[in-house]
Structure 1
Amino acid sequence: MTETAIADHGMVGDLQTAALITTDGSVDWFCCPRFDSPSVFGALLDDERGGRFSVHPVGTEYETKQMYHPDTAALITRFFTADGVGEVVDFMPPLDERATDNHRLVRLLRCVRGRMKFELEVAPRFGYGRVPHTVDVSAGGVVFSTDDVALTLHVVREPDDERLAEAQIHDGDVRGTVTLTAGQVRGLVLESAAEGRPREIRVAEVERLFDETVAFWRSWLARSTYRGRWREIVERAAITLKLMTYAPTGGLVAAPTMGLPEQVGGERNWDYRYTWVRDASFSVYALLGLGFVEEAEQFGAWLGRRIREGGAGEGRPLNIMYRIDGSSDLKEDLLEHWSGYRGSRPVRVGNGAAEQLQLDIYGEALDSLYVADLAGLTVPHRGWAGLAGVLDWVTEHWDQPEEGIWETRGGRQAFTYGRLMCWVALDRGIRLASEHGRPAQVDRWRDARDRIYEQIMARGWNTTRKAFVQHYDTDVLDSSLLRMPMAGFIAPRDPMWLSTLDAMESELVTDSLVYRYDPGASPDGLRGSEGTFSLCSFTWVGALARAGRLDQARQAFEKMLTYANHVGLYSEEIALTGEQIGNFPQAFTHLALIDAALTLDAALDRAEPGAVHRAVSVHSVQLGGLRV
C-alpha cells in the first residue's frame, strides 16, 4: 500500500489536537494529547509502520464520498455498495482551556440503506512508531498502553449485540467486524482520559455527544459577520482555523501535520505543528474581519506573554515560533525509521528554523495589534511596556542580514520584506503611542522608520527589473512583497508598484497560481524544487483587487477555489499536476483565502453603484486606511 493522497483527507478536532481521516475511512494521522505530541496513528507518513484506525466495508466493492455535517467540524464518510449504503460519522467533542486530559475521537457507524458489513482495525503506533504497547481486552473495550500514554477504546453498542471481546488481537492490533442493517447505529470511542476503563456506551449517549458538538460549532459560526459572495468557502476556512487553535493558550498551529513534502521525494519536509508569530498575527486580520473578536483577543494575550517572557536567541525579543504552550524547545530531529510520504525523506520532527532571525515577525505582530486596537482591543499597560521594548530593539537592529520569511537555509541577506515589516512595526508603534498618549521614544522610532523607507526605495527597487526584489544583492522577485500596498508602504496604483505587479505576473504567476520566488533560482539553499505557494496565490488576488484589476482578481480567486479538496481544505502548495502538497491543512492558506475574499468583496461592492456593502465593518476600516 502507498500513503493516501494529501488532499484525500478531512479533519476533525477538539481544539487541542486533530485527526486526519481519509476518504476511505481511515484515521492515518493523530497526535495525542496535543497537536505537537508524538503520533499515535501516522500512516500518512509511513503506511507500513505508522499505524491507523480504519473502518470500511468488507466483502464487497464500494465507492466513497466525504462531506462535513453542515456548518460543523463533524465529518461524514459515506460508502456505496451493491448491498446498501453506509457511513462513518467522525467527530471530537470540543474541549475548553480547562480540560486537557479527556480527548475523545468518536466513530459512529451507520447503515443507511440495505445491509453492510464493516471491518474495523485499530493499530496504534505510539511515539512515532518507536514505542511498543500492550493490549488489555475486556467486555467493554480495549486499553492500549505504554509507560507514558494510555488510550481506551470504548464500544458503542446495545445490550443484545455481539461483544468486541470476540474480536481478533494480533501483534497489539485489534481487528473485528460488525454487520448492520438499515437504521442501525454502532461505533467506537477512542479516549485519552487518565485511568480510563473500557465501558459499553449506548448509542443514545453518543448521539447526544454528537448533538452537543454540532450545537457548539453552529453557535460559534453564528458569530460570523461575513455576508459576502463566498460564504460557504469562507466559513469552512474559519472552522478550519478554529480547529487549529490550541484552546489552553490561544496559539494557532501552522498545520496539524509534519513531514509532508513541498516536493514529492524532496527534502523540504518540515514540522509545522507549532505557533509561528507570523501566522498567528495574520490570523488576527482574518478573524476580526469575520467578527471573531474573542479569538483575536486570545492571540493578543498569547503574544503578550511571549513579549513579557523575552529572552529569545541572540538577545532578540521574540523567537519566530513556539510550541503551542509557549515554550521554545523545538530541536529538529530525523525519524530515520519512517519512509516518509511517498518516499519523501528525511521525515523531520521539531523545527531548526526556530533559531533563525526573521525580522518581518515584528511588523506582523505590531500590525495585528494595531488592527486589534481599531476593533477596541487596546493593549494594556504591561503589554505596552513590553511592546515599547520590542520597538526599541527594532530601532537598533533592523539594518542587519537575516534568514527572511521563507526560512531560507542558505545564509542571511538584507531581505526587502524583512525591512518592509520593520517599517510596519515602527509605523504602527508610532500610531499606537500617539493615539493613546503612551510613553515611547517616538522620535527615534520615526527616524528609523523613515530611514527604512528611504533604504527600500533606493536598494529594494531594481532599476533593471523595474520591480522591487527579494533582497538588495539579487534581481530575484519575491511574492512576499505582494503585501507592500496592504501594509500601507506604497499606494496600490503607484507606477512603481504596478510595474512590480507586471514583473511578478510574467515570472511568478502561472494562471492563478503563484510561486514564492523564481522556481529556478533556488535561493533557499536546498536541493529540488517546489510547487506554487497557495498563500501567495490568494495574496495575489488581494493585490490585484487593490490595484483596480477586479476582473483579473475575481477570475484568479475563482480558479484558486477549484484547487480546494472535496471538503474545502487546502495544503501549503500546489504541484505541477494540480495535486496538493506540503503540510495539510495549512493555516496560512486559509487565512489568505479569507483575506482575499474580504478584500475582493469590498472592492467589488465599491465598484457596484448603490450596492449593499457586504464587507464587515472592521475590515472596512482597514481598507479605508492603512491596509489598502
Structure 2
Amino acid sequence: MAGRIEDYALIGDRETAALVGRDGAIDWMCAPRFDSPACFAALLGDAGNGSWWIGPADHRPGNRRAYRGDSLVLDTVWETAKGAVRLTDFMPSRGSGPLVVRIAEGLSGRVEMGTELRLRFDSGRVVPWTWTADARTVAAVAGPDSAYLRHPPGLSVQAAKQCVSSRFTLPAGERLAFVLGWSPSHLGPDLGADPDASLARTLEHWRAFAANCRYQGPFREAVMRSLITLKALTYAPTGGIVAAVTSSLPEAVGEGRNWDYRYCWLRDSALTLSCLLRSGYREEAVAWKDWLLRAIAGEPADLQPVYGVGGQRRLPESTADWLSGYEGSVPVRFGNAAVGQLQLDVYGEVVNTVYSAMRAEVPIGRPVWSLLASFMEYLEKHWTEPDAGFWEVRGPRRHFVHSKVMSWVAADRALRMARVAGLRGHTDRWRAMRREIRAEVCRLGWDDERSTFVQAYGSRAVDASALLLPRPGFLRADDPRLLGTVEAVRLLERDGFLRRYAPGADGVRGVDGLPGDEGTFLACSLWFADALALTGRHHEAREVFERVLDVRNDVGLLSEEWDPAEHRQLGNTPQAFSHVALVNAAFALHGTRGPARRPARPGG
C-alpha cells in the first residue's frame, strides 16, 4: 500500500525522477523521461503496479532519513535490535537511459535485509518477460521497454515473472550496490560506471549547483532545498520545467480532482524561471528561453497553456481504469485537457519572464522579439475576452481579474522592452492598452462595499490570486485597495492556511465545478506571507511563512496542498508552484525590518 504523500522523497537525474518511501520502496518512476509512462506506479495502485523495495526484512519504515548536504542523494537509516543499516539512493547523470543506484551499507551489527523488484511497464499495466541474463544481471522486456538490474556479486536472486527478489544479511562495514537501468528494448543495457564513482560525481554536481545560490538569509536551508527541487524538475535536454513529477495525486481524496502535472505549464515555468534568476541561476534562464522559443513558435492564437517536456502540443487526456487510484481516488488521469484552454494570463507571464531575463543580461535574439510582437498583436485584440483563468476552470469562461492584470503586465513589459527590441512603433497602442486595462480592472474587478478585488467581473468571490497584484507593479504596496484586498483574503483562511477560493462561491463547489472541497493551497499561504511583507507586516508575514515551513515533509518537500484537518499533504508532488512561492517569500522576508521595499511605480 502506498504511503502518505509526505512519506516520499525525490531523487532524479534532471530527465526523470523517482519517489522513495520511508520504507525504502520506490513507488513512482516514469521512464525514460518525466512525461513517459511509469515503470513503477504503486503510488496510484499497489505493489502489483510496479515498485522496488530494499530494506530490513520486516518492511519497517526507516528511523530517519536526509539528503546528503545540498544534494539530491538520499540516505535512509534503519536502527533495529540486531544492528543498523543505511540505504543511499540517487540517480546519476545518464548515458542512454535513466539509472537508479541503491547502496545498502551495514553500520553496526548484522541486519536481515531483502529486496523485491516488480517492474510494470505502461504505467502499471504490462508485466514484462523476466529472465537471468548473467550471473549479476536480471533482464525484463515488454514491447518498447526494457530494464536491467545489476546486483552485487554472489547474491542469490530469484527472477520470477511477477517479482525479482532476494534475502541477505548485511553485516557492519559491508556495502552492496544495486543498479537498475531502463533502455529501449531494441538496445542493450547501459548500467553506467562504478556506483561509488557515480555517487561522487553526483554529489559534486549538486555541490556546484548550490554554490551559485544568491540567497544568504535566515531560511537558507529551506530555500536551497526548494531550488534543488526546482532544478530537479527541469528537463535538461530541452530546458522545459515540469509542474510536478506525479500524476493524479488527489487535491481532495476521493473527489475526482486528480490531474496529470508531468508537463510544462508556461505559467509555472515562467514563475520558476523568474525565481531561479532571482536566486542567481542564469544558465537555466538561457535554456528555458530556448525551450520557450521552440515550444511556442507558430501562430499566437495557437499558444497553449501547457506543453510536453520536448515542446509537444498533443497531450490527450485519458483515464487508466487498471489503476485503483491513490487511496481510491479515481479516475487516474494521464495527459491534460488544459492544452485546449484559453488562459490569457499566460501571455503576461511569458512576456514578464523575457523581460526579467533581459534585465539579467540573458541574450534575447531577433526571433524572440518578433515572437513577442506577434504575442502583443494577438493580446491587443483578445484581452477583452473571457478565459479559463489562473485556476484552469473546466466550465464557462469568465472575465477573471488575474487574467486582465497579467494582460496589463504584458503591455507594461512590452513598453519597457520596446526601445531595446526596436519595437517603438507599437508603443502608443501598448500604452493605451495598458491604461485601458488598468481602468477596467479597477472599475469592474473591484468590490467597493467589501473593499477588495474579486475573482471575476460580476462576482463577489475573493480569490487568493489577488495577492499577486503588487509584485508586477499593478498596485503599489501602500495602495489602500491592496491593503483592503489583503484583509479580505483572510476570509479564505482555514486553520492558518489559505484556500485558493471559497468553496460554494457563486453557487458552485469551487470554480472547477466539481463536487466536494479541497485542501488549502500552499502557494497561496506563501503569497500571503509575501504580500504581508510587502505591506510592512513583517512579523505576521514571518509567522505565516514559518507555518508553511512546518508542514514540509522530513526532507523539506512540499506538494500542492495541505489538509489542516487531517494534517497531511495533498496533490501532486513535489510541486514547483509551492517551492517557487517559498523562495520568493523568503526573499521578501530577508532583511525586512519595516515596510518592504516597494515595487516600481506602475504605469497608467
1:612 matched to which residue of 2?
none
Tell me which of 104, 107, 110 is aligned to 2:105.
Answer: 110
Aligned equivalents of 1:446, 1:477: Cα separation in 2: 29
Counterpart residue type for residue 176 of structure 2: R
**Following TM superposition, by how much is the alpha carbon of 1:600 offset from its aligned partner in structure 2, in angstroms?**
1.2
Relative to structure 1, the CA distance from residue 78 to residue 440 in structure 2 (aligned partners, 3 Å threshold; closer, same or farther) is farther
Aligned equivalents of 2:384, 2:176: Cα separation in 1: 63
**Following TM superposition, by how much is the alpha carbon of 1:604 offset from its aligned partner in structure 2, in angstroms?**
3.6
Q: Structure 1 unaligned runs (5+)?
A: 608-619
Relative to structure 1, the CA distance from residue 10 to residue 606 in structure 2 (aligned partners, 3 Å threshold; closer, same or farther) is same
* SS at 1:603 equivalent: coil
**Following TM superposition, by how much is the alpha carbon of 1:102 offset from its aligned partner in structure 2, in angstroms?**
2.4
Is 560-569 or 297-306 further displaced after alignment?
Answer: 297-306
Within 5 Å, which residues of 2 pair with 1:484-503?
A: 484-503=469-488
1:616 matched to which residue of 2?
none
Aligned equivalents of 1:361, 1:440: Cα separation in 2: 24
**Following TM superposition, by how much is the alpha carbon of 1:497 offset from its aligned partner in structure 2, in angstroms?**
1.2
Relative to structure 1, the CA distance from residue 60 to residue 330 in structure 2 (aligned partners, 3 Å threshold; closer, same or farther) is closer
1:470 matched to which residue of 2?
455
Aligned equivalents of 1:397, 1:435: Cα separation in 2: 25
2:115 matched to which residue of 1?
120
**Following TM superposition, by how much is the alpha carbon of 1:59 offset from its aligned partner in structure 2, in angstroms?**
5.1
1:582 matched to which residue of 2?
571
1:540 and 2:528 aligned: yes
Aligned equivalents of 1:211, 1:3: Cα separation in 2: 31
1:514 matched to which residue of 2?
498
**Following TM superposition, by how much is the alpha carbon of 1:49 offset from its aligned partner in structure 2, in angstroms?**
3.5
Relative to structure 1, the CA distance from residue 625 to residue 244 in structure 2 (aligned partners, 3 Å threshold; closer, same or farther) is farther
1:212-243 CA distances to partner (integer Å, 9 max, x unpaired)?
11011101111112111111110000000011
Counterpart residue type for residue 367 of structure 1: N
Aligned equivalents of 1:396, 1:197: Cα separation in 2: 54
1:367 and 2:363 aligned: no
Relative to structure 1, the CA distance from residue 21 to residue 440 in structure 2 (aligned partners, 3 Å threshold; closer, same or farther) is farther
* SS at 2:44 equivalent: coil
1:230-273 CA distances to partner (integer Å, 9 max, x unpaired)?
11110000000011100011000000000100001110000000
Indicate if the aligned counterparts of 1:532 and 1:575 stay in contact, CA closer than 8 A.
yes
Tell me which of 265, 271, 293 is aligned to 2:254.
Answer: 265
Within 5 Å, which residues of 2 pair with 1:96-495?
A: 101-137=96-132, 138-157=134-153, 162-163=154-155, 166-193=156-183, 195-197=187-189, 205-307=194-296, 309-311=297-299, 316-495=301-480
Within 5 Å, which residues of 2 pair with 1:588-607?
A: 588-604=577-593
2:31 matched to which residue of 1?
32
Aligned equivalents of 1:61, 1:553: Cα separation in 2: 39
* SS at 1:144 equivalent: strand
Indicate if the aligned counterparts of 1:392 and 1:445 stay in contact, CA closer than 8 A.
no
**Following TM superposition, by how much is the alpha carbon of 1:171 offset from its aligned partner in structure 2, in angstroms?**
3.0
* SS at 1:270 equivalent: coil
Aligned equivalents of 2:60, 2:538: Cα separation in 1: 48
How many residue pairs align between the two structures? 595
**Following TM superposition, by how much is the alpha carbon of 1:54 offset from its aligned partner in structure 2, in angstroms?**
0.3
Aligned equivalents of 1:84, 1:134: Cα separation in 2: 37
Aligned equivalents of 1:595, 1:400: Cα separation in 2: 31
**Following TM superposition, by how much is the alpha carbon of 1:512 offset from its aligned partner in structure 2, in angstroms?**
3.8
Q: Percent identity?
A: 39
Indicate if the aligned counterparts of 2:247 and 2:334 stay in contact, CA closer than 8 A.
yes
**Following TM superposition, by how much is the alpha carbon of 1:449 offset from its aligned partner in structure 2, in angstroms?**
1.4
* SS at 1:441 equivalent: helix
Aligned equivalents of 1:62, 1:31: Cα separation in 2: 24
**Following TM superposition, by how much is the alpha carbon of 1:275 offset from its aligned partner in structure 2, in angstroms?**
0.1
Aligned equivalents of 1:49, 1:401: Cα separation in 2: 45
Counterpart residue type for residue 180 of structure 1: L
1:73 matched to which residue of 2?
72
Counterpart residue type for residue 118 of structure 1: M
1:164-190 CA distances to partner (integer Å, 9 max, x unpaired)?
xx4223333101112111010002100
Q: Structure 2 unaligned runs (5+)?
A: none
Relative to structure 1, the CA distance from residue 334 to residue 60 in structure 2 (aligned partners, 3 Å threshold; closer, same or farther) is closer
Which TM-score applies when normalising by structure 1? 0.92
**CA RMSD in angstroms, aligned pairs only:** 1.9
Aligned equivalents of 1:624, 1:603: Cα separation in 2: 17
1:4 and 2:3 aligned: yes
